[in-house]
Amino acid sequence: MRKVLFFMMVTLDGFFEGPNHSIDWHNVDEEFNMFANAQLDSVDMLLFGRITYELMAAYWPTPSAAKDDPLIAKKMNQTPKIVFSRTLNNTAWQNTRLIKENIVEEISKLKAEPGKDLILFGSSDLSVTLIQYGLIDEFRIMVNPVVLGNGTTLFNGIRERLNLRFQKAQTFHSGNVLLYYQPEMKPANL
């Protein structure tokens, strides 16, 4: 069975984005890009909520992305993607499928299919839904050594406590620390 991995960068004070969806504080360098490349190699589908999808679709297919991050851009563009949204009517980013309803059922089906793991990038609102139904199998939280003071907190709207079991940590020369966790138990509402 495939796993759903959740990856998010956060600040030391727990924000995944600054005001106006700002992510200019992301600490990205060659070492991070090597990690990102390996992470993309380990999955065969990218999952997004609408807001993250629109932000990613506005960057990765551009000439600027191809120039600045050619290997990552190629993988982001070629890998199959699903955007979960009730408000979008179509998608323009190549290899993207739109799912408007039955998120839990669709994710459960995807997990049962053969293949590599699935990864949810960002998409905090969608992650809260998946957490509530026990559909995230591993959390990868990369803490950046920055304090913003304000922004949007991770997992805003979570209704029930979720205990996580620490798996491992990876440190980067930039000061980033990647924390790997697994949920201790699946929530009862699955």
- For the chain, give every domain's residue range: 4-183
pLDDT, tens digit (0-9, with 9 covering 90-100), for 20-70: 888 899 989 999 999 999 999 999 999 999 999 999 999 999 999 999 999
pLDDT tens, position by position, 129-173: 999 999 999 999 999 999 999 999 999 888 888 999 999 999 999
Q: What is the pTM of this model?
A: 0.92
Largest CA distance in the chain: 46
| Domain with residues 4-183, CATH architecture | 3-Layer(aba) Sandwich (3.40)
Return d(Cα 66, Cα 98) in angstroms, integer.
24
